[in-house]
């Protein structure tokens, strides 16, 4: 199949899989990955390794967008308030997974190869890789369930910073493994190399973000801003790949800089990029599942896989709980953070492939090298934890009461009708009501438009404050004029069951502040008025009610 066919197949099947799993109350990202497994190397082989390699730029683009959008969530004020907590939790969960997985895998490998040096090398590398957390699937769950709160804030920060810790531990771990097995590696040089890579990624991203911000000042058009931002992100990803830097850290630095030095200007940009990025994420996660090859593994390797998953999960949970307690984090953070860090993805698989290139000459058994064992184990564990990780993240944010808290005014408007936001103080005015009484209605309420109804209750016109201005100075006419004498014809009106979003768009297009409202049952009976100011106030009140932390 051609690449376009594969892209279409992945996106189409991914959407279907996500829909099925959502019906089962399972996060949609699990559906993407399962579809990938079914069509990939462990399933029907519709997507092979060559196709996955050819689509690698799409994976890098997806990782870059994830990094950029995650960076947009990291405001400086958050780190000022929670910096100590984030540091303690990050070190706790990363080092907890490192030591528990490292010790356990060392013992298991030693029972297979009976060589403590090789076993210790393997354990060191496994521990380093286990410290990594997949930001993509974790963030996808937070977006899917529209979470907001202290736990969500902590999760975003930890998964964003986890890459840096994992790469540092990986650099030290692989260097130690090479020294143990061959004595050829220099630990000091490797640490310097990792430091240069990490700081280089941050500097590259900050430079790109600063340049992007300068140009955005002079581009008010939304379309041009979007194109320019995507161009800068793609160029940053390319530079990171060329100079062997971390793609996520580089693009995350762009997002961090923009959201902190130009929060208003960048807010719309982040929203636009997030709105069109769904197909790219779907393709990314389906390909994650497609490249997982777990066939032909010996039984003892499955024991290592099971131990790795259990010890890594335990290390993440205990480490984050310990970090949260000693840093006096909120109870929900200490209690549930660990459940949100089980996912393992592209970063871990990439690190395992890199490790295999350095350790592929070391034999574990007659048919398997240390490098192959690392790749197979990490691949299999990635499949397992990618299936359970998103569900655990969903459990954590739901238990913390943070689901459906990240709601915008647009979300509220989309769910309301005109009847939900009508001003209850605005009642229709009978056509024979004296003008003196009409004027009292206007002075007692802040409404600018009232519907005028016939004796049968049907709307026949409207009274506006502007139409009454000329009569305010002629008090004598107030007694003998009635509403029908000064009303204006009805040009536009709406109905009580109409969708609020559509009506607000129409009012904006017509440049009107209020519209008369009919019952909507075909009788043309007036029930009131939708006033733009009152409607907006009701929407804000509803937004506050829905987002209030219980």
pLDDT tens-digit series, residues 349-391 = 667 766 765 666 777 777 677 877 887 788 778 778 877 888 8
One domain for residues 459 and 382: no
- According to the model, what pLDDT value does residue 211 have? 92
Pairwise pLDDT comparison (195 vs 389), residue with the higher score: 389
One domain for residues 365 and 481: no
Structural domain ending residue among the three candidates 406, 440, 473:
406
Report how far residue 527's alpha carbon sits from residue 543's, in angstroms, rounded to the nearest whole number. 25
Pairwise pLDDT comparison (337 vs 484), residue with the higher score: 337
One domain for residues 398 and 434: no
One domain for residues 449 and 335: no
One domain for residues 467 and 364: no
CA 548 to chain CA centroid, nearest Å: 20
One domain for residues 145 and 249: yes
Over the chain, what is the mean pLDDT?
A: 81
Per residue in 285-303, pLDDT (tens digit) is 788 778 766 666 778 888 9
Question: Structurally, how many domains does the chain consist of?
Answer: 2
- According to the model, what pLDDT value does residue 295 have? 66
CATH of the domain at 163: 1.20.1530.20
One domain for residues 61 and 185: yes
Structural domain ending residue among the three candidates 381, 406, 431:
406
Are residues 252 and 161 in contact, defined by beta-carbon separation less than 8 angstroms? no
Which range of residues forms the domain containing residue 467? 411-547
One domain for residues 400 and 415: no
One domain for residues 310 and 380: yes
Report how far residue 57's alpha carbon sits from residue 133's, in angstroms, rounded to the nearest whole number. 22
Report how far residue 15's alpha carbon sits from residue 29's, in angstroms, rounded to the nearest whole number. 10
One domain for residues 260 and 315: yes
CATH of the domain at 502: 3.10.580.10
Report how far residue 167's alpha carbon sits from residue 139's, in angstroms, rounded to the nearest whole number. 20
Q: How many CB atoms lie within 10 A of CB 371?
A: 21
One domain for residues 365 and 235: yes
One domain for residues 391 and 522: no
Structural domain ending residue among the three candidates 372, 406, 440:
406
Give the helix/strand (H/E) hosting 255.
Answer: helix 247-261
* pLDDT greater than 70 at residue 308: yes
Least confident piece of the model among 89-93, 107-111, 136-140, 323-327: 136-140
């Amino acid at each position: 199949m051609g690449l376009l066919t594969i892209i279409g197949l992945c996106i189409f099947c991914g959407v279907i899989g996500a829909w099925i799993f959502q019906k089962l109350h399972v996060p949609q990202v699990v559906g993407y990955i399962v579809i990938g497994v079914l069509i990939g190397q462990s399933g029907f082989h519709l997507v092979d390794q060559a196709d996955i390699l050819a689509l690698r730029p799409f994976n890098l683009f997806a990782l870059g967008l994830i990094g950029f959008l995650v960076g947009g969530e990291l405001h400086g004020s958050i780190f000022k308030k929670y910096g100590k907590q984030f540091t303690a939790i990050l070190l706790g969960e990363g080092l907890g997974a490192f030591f528990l997985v490292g010790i356990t895998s060392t013992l298991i490998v030693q029972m297979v190869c009976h060589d403590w040096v090789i076993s210790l090398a393997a354990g060191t590398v496994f521990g380093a890789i286990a410290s990594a957390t997949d930001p993509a699937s974790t963030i996808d769950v937070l977006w899917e369930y529209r979470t907001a709160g202290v736990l969500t804030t902590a999760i975003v920060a930890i998964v964003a910073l986890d890459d840096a810790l994992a790469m540092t531990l990986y650099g030290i771990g692989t260097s130690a493994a090479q020294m143990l097995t061959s004595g050829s590696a220099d630990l000091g040089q490797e640490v310097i190399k990792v430091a240069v890579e990490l700081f280089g990624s941050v500097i590259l991203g900050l430079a790109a973000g600063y340049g992007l911000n300068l140009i955005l000042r002079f581009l008010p058009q939304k379309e041009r801003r979007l194109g320019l931002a995507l161009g800068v992100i793609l160029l940053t990803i390319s530079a990171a790949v060329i100079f062997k830097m971390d793609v996520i850290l580089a693009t995350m630095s762009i997002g961090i800089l923009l959201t902190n030095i130009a929060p208003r200007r960048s807010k719309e940009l982040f929203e636009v990029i997030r709105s069109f990025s769904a197909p790219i994420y779907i393709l990314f996660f389906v390909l994650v599942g497609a490249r997982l090859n777990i066939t032909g593994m010996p039984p003892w390797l499955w024991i290592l896989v099971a131990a790795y998953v259990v010890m890594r999960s335990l290390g993440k949970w205990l480490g984050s709980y310990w970090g949260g307690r000693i840093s006096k984090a909120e109870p929900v953070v200490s209690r549930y953070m660990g459940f949100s860090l089980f996912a393992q993805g592209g970063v871990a698989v990439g690190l395992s492939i890199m490790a295999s290139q350095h350790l592929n000459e070391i034999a574990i058994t007659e048919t398997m090298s240390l490098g192959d064992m690392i790749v197979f184990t990490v691949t299999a564990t990635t499949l397992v934890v990618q299936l359970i990780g998103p569900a655990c993240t969903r459990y954590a944010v739901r238990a913390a009461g943070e689901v459906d808290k990240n709601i915008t005014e647009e979300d509220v408007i989309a769910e309301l009708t005109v009847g939900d936001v009508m001003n209850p103080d605005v009642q229709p005015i009978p056509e024979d009501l004296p003008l003196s009484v009409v004027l009292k209605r206007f002075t007692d309420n802040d409404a600018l438009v009232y519907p005028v109804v016939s004796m049968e209750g049907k709307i026949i016109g409207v009274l506006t404050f502007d139409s009454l201005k000329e009569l305010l100075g002629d008090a004598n006419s107030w007694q003998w004029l009635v509403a029908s004498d000064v009303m204006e014809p009805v040009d536009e009106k709406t109905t009580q069951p109409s969708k609020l979003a559509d009506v607000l768009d129409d009012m904006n297009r017509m440049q009107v502040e209020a519209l008369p409202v009919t019952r909507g049952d075909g009788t043309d009976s007036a029930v009131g008025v939708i006033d733009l100011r009152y409607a907006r106030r009701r929407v804000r009140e509803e937004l506050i009610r829905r987002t209030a932390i219980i």
